[in-house]
Structure formats: C-alpha cells, structure tokens
Structure 1
Amino acid sequence: MPEISRFFGIVIRMFFDDHNPPHFHAEFQEYKALVAIQSAELIDGYLPVKQLKLVQAWAILHEEQLLENFNNLGKDIKSWNKIEPLN
C-alpha cells in the first residue's frame, strides 16, 4: 500500500486495485479513516476533527492528482505519484 503523502502526523495511503468509490486511507496515531476523493467526505472510520479538516482541505487541493493515482493503482502498481503535503 503506497504512502501518497504525509503531513502533521497524518499518513495518506492508497491500496493497489482498491474498490469504488474513489477514496484514500488516512491514518493519524491509532485512528484510521477512508475519505472520498471527489467529495472529501468521510466514508468510514474516524479521525479527530482537526485532523479530518486538514485531510479534507488537502484532498480538495489535490483532487485531480488523487483521482489519477487511484485510477493508475488499479492498472499498474508502478504508476503512482507522491502528492505534496500541506505546509
């Protein structure tokens, strides 16, 4: 499962050949969540409010790159890119 980005203690990952809807996995300490790429909404799991808002802001900024990674990981496990973290 590639690490796509990391910021403020939050790790963003995607699974190879993952299911729809397009989403990514966010982890912070013991918390794990699935976040929809196109809406930045929480699909499953839990993140503290502050971290969820950071993840959602990041997802909105990088929606196109996230969708590209999601689609590429389903086809070619070598075709994904790291995405710039929040500063």
Structure 2
Amino acid sequence: MPTISMFYGILVSMYALDIEKHHAAHIHVRYNEFKVVLGIPEGEVLEGSLPARQMKLVQAWIELHRDELMADWLLASSGQTPYRIDPLR
C-alpha cells in the first residue's frame, strides 16, 4: 500500500486496484491505532474513525488536494503507483 502523504503523525495511503470493496474513489488513513477509509473527492467516511482533531486535518488536506487525489485514484485504479502528494503544513 503506497503512502501518498504523511503529516502530523497521519499516514495517507492509496491501494492500487482497490476497487472491489468500496467501489468508489477513496483513501486509507491511519493515525496511531485509528484507521479510516474516506471517499474522495468529498472526504466522507466509508469505514472506521479518527479522533476529531485529526479528522479535521485530513478533511482540510483533502480540500486542498482534491484534483491530485482524483488523478492518483485514476492511476491506482488502473494498477499504477499513485504519486506522493504534499503534506499539510
């Protein structure tokens, strides 16, 4: 699972060919023992949870990088490795 971004202890990943379970564009986010799957481009929770503060940071990051996330999803859904995306600063 390629990590596409890391910031404030949050790891954001996107699996190649991960289209069977959720059927929609999404990212996997980990923070300590928490895991969440968020739909893109809107950032809706598909599965799991994060603490409120970290969720707000991830939502802000999604807002800033919506186009890049969708471009990465097109790569990943066709079996290619997604590009890294700048962290939230």
TM-score bin, normalised by smaller chain: over 0.9
Question: Number of residues paired by the alignment?
Answer: 86
TM-score, normalized by length of structure 2?
0.91
Q: Moved runs in structure 1, 4+ residues, more than 3 A? A: none
- Please report how far the alpha carbon of residue 33 of structure 1 lies from its aligned counterpart in structure 2 after TM superposition: 0.2
Distance 2:84 2:69 in 1: 10
TM-score, normalized by length of structure 1?
0.93
CA deviation vs aligned residue, 1:54-73 (integer Å, no higher than 9, x gap):
00110011011001111111
Question: In percent, how many aligned pairs have the same letter?
Answer: 36
Distance 1:35 1:28 in 2: 13
What CA RMSD, in Å, does the superposition of the two structures yield over aligned residues? 1.0
**Greater relative contact order, per chain length (Cα 8 Å cut-off, separation 6+):** 2
Q: Which runs of 5+ in 2 are unaligned?
A: none
Equivalent residue letter for 2:12: I
1:39 maps onto 2:45 in alignment? no
